[in-house]
Amino acid sequence: MLETIVFMCESSVMKTIETSVGPRERLLEAAGEVFAERGYDAATVREITGRAGANVAAVNYHFRDKEELYAAVLRHAQRCAMESSWVDGGEGTPEKRLGGFVGAMLRHLLDPERPAWHGRLMAREMAAPTRMLSQLIDEGFRPKVTILEGIVRDIVGSSLSGKRVHLLAASVLAQCVFYRQSRPVIAELFPGLLEGEDAIAPLAEHITTFSLAGIRAAARAKQKTKS
């Protein structure tokens, strides 16, 4: 498959995708751009097919209708994410695995090679959920959260309730997602913080250290209430 998808961005010229990829792949990439820019309701099949260099009938042939095309685009973006470097954190102590998980998640979220529309589309889906959100969570997000909660459990033992473990795992995730969702703001407030190839390692170390302190503090607080 072609490594780079090229768009013409002048407002007076309709965006087109290089034709050296298959028609289905061109439709997926074009639809991802349009859905990410305009949202599901405002996106039109005509604009999508125009960018893909295809006719309107191609959507019916490959995806049946606009709704199924949208579902296929979300699955495509999620599949690309699952094929990235986001792993379970590897082996070793729970602390080391937490660091591995955080580092892998940051590499995934801040990957400069990842098409920009992936993140924008997922943000739109979470802000205005469709019937696809539950499926995306079950297939992509929930397995990774289960891994993270297992790491947290290994750190604190059995002293904390399930709800408390949920909160701790959510706090770890929130720190990572913050640097993706708020990247333009961070660039203004803290210039250079996320720039360069070496930016992820110290950020991952910071989040891991901060999270471990919070996780251990929660476990100690629970022990004090028991004594």
Give the number of other Cβ atoms within 10 Å of residue 191's Cβ.
9
Give the number of other Cβ atoms within 10 Å of residue 227's Cβ.
4
90 has a pLDDT exceeding 90: no
Alpha-carbon Rg for the chain in angstroms = 21
Contact 147/172 with Cβ under 8 angstroms? no
Let me know whether 95 and 52 are in one domain: no
Global pTM value: 0.77
Q: What is the CATH number of the domain that holds 102?
A: 1.10.357.10
Range of the domain at 139: 86-226
Question: How many domains does the chain fold into?
Answer: 2
Structure tokens at 18: 């290089």
Structure tokens at 28: 């997926």
Contact 17/1 with Cβ under 8 angstroms? no
Let me know whether 78 and 100 are in one domain: no
How do residues 31-58 score in pLDDT, each as one tens digit? 999 999 999 999 999 999 999 999 999 9
